[in-house]
Amino acid sequence: MKEPVLIKPDGTRLDGRKPDELRPIKMEVGVLEKSDGSAYLEHGGTRVFAAVFGPKEMHPKHLALPSRAVLRLRYHMASFSVEDRKTLGMTRREIELSKVIREALESVIFLEEFPRSSIDVFAEIVQADGGTRCAAITASSLALADAGIPMLDLLPGVASGKIGGKVVLDLSELEDKYGEADMPVAISPRLDAALLFQLNGRLSLKEFDEAWELARQGCSKIYEMQRNALKNRYETYKPEEET
């Protein structure tokens, strides 16, 4: 494939977005009946289901911690989520991402309230179009809040980066592939702290500041959407009509 022109002459991107614009986002909470909490997220072409089970008894028992719960997170891409079929099972990349996402979420959950137990989170990517780790964080934290697990804050995630010499927000798969830098972050607006921070490629200090500010704004926008998704679930209830 020929390398695409990432920034058009009029300053817009491949899909017509402005540099600081997010892709269309759709969120829904409580989509899976058999889990304790669940969420579905569409972030551009990326689609994720997240499900939470627990707190429950830790198995195997010798791994239980007497002072707090153990958070276990599985980030997994479905075989059909990418263009060339992905083999089943956890790849090296998925194991690593499960770890970084878990560590980001561990710092917002009150794990000390559930000693000797485990909380299992499953983030399943059903369609991948860039930004899957950030989408997995956004969806998992929504599912945890839906399960009623006490948390410091909801955690939104979004990537910013540099493509075609310009700093932009929310990279798609093509932009990530042909761009110069990709910086996925998860910022808790309430704590005003980055709980996940990765950077692939090179950014000058000035570009970095710009990318950080874009990511911060993006995270606050997604945060508001997360809050609305949680509220909407319970405000759609209407009493029965009189007959």
As a whole number of angstroms, the distance between CA 200 and CA 4 comes to 20
As a whole number of angstroms, the distance between CA 128 and CA 165 comes to 25
Nearer to another protein, 21 or 28 (CB): 28
Nearer to another protein, 86 or 227 (CB): 227
Nearer to another protein, 4 or 150 (CB): 150
Q: In 10 A of CB 178, how many CB atoms?
A: 15
The single residue among 3, 83, 192, 240 that binds another protein, judged by CB under 8 A, is: 240
CB of 153 to another protein, least distance (A): 3
Q: Please, what's the b/e burial string for 17-42 (b: 16 or more CB within 10 A of its CB; e: otherwise)?
A: bebeebbebebebbbbeebbbbbbbb
Q: Is 122 near another protein (CB under 8 A)?
A: no
Nearer to another protein, 108 or 136 (CB): 108
The single residue among 152, 165, 201, 220 that binds another protein, judged by CB under 8 A, is: 152
* CA-based nearest residue to 94, from 83, 79, 105, 116: 79
Q: Which residue has tokens 């980001």? A: 104
Q: Is 227 near another protein (CB under 8 A)?
A: yes
Q: Is 36 near another protein (CB under 8 A)?
A: yes
Q: Is 116 near another protein (CB under 8 A)?
A: yes
For the packed helices 132-146 and 92-106, what is the interaxial angle rounded to 10 degrees? 50
Q: Is 33 near another protein (CB under 8 A)?
A: no
Question: Which residues are CB-contacts of 152 (< 8 A; sequence separation ≥ 6)?
Answer: 107, 108, 109, 110, 188, 190, 191
As a whole number of angstroms, the distance between CA 163 and CA 168 comes to 7
Nearer to another protein, 86 or 116 (CB): 116
For the record, the structure tokens of 238 come out as 């209407």
The single residue among 107, 166, 173, 189 that binds another protein, judged by CB under 8 A, is: 189
The single residue among 123, 188, 212, 222 that binds another protein, judged by CB under 8 A, is: 188
> How many residues form the binding site for another protein (CB under 8 A)?
37
Report yes or no: 216 and 208 within 8 Å, Cβ to Cβ. Answer: no
Stretch that binds another protein, among 75-83, 87-95, 112-120, 159-167 (CB under 8 A): 112-120
In the complex, the residues that contact another protein under the rule CB under 8 A are: 36-37, 54-58, 66, 108, 110, 113-114, 116-118, 145-154, 188-190, 226-227, 230-231, 234-235, 237, 239-240
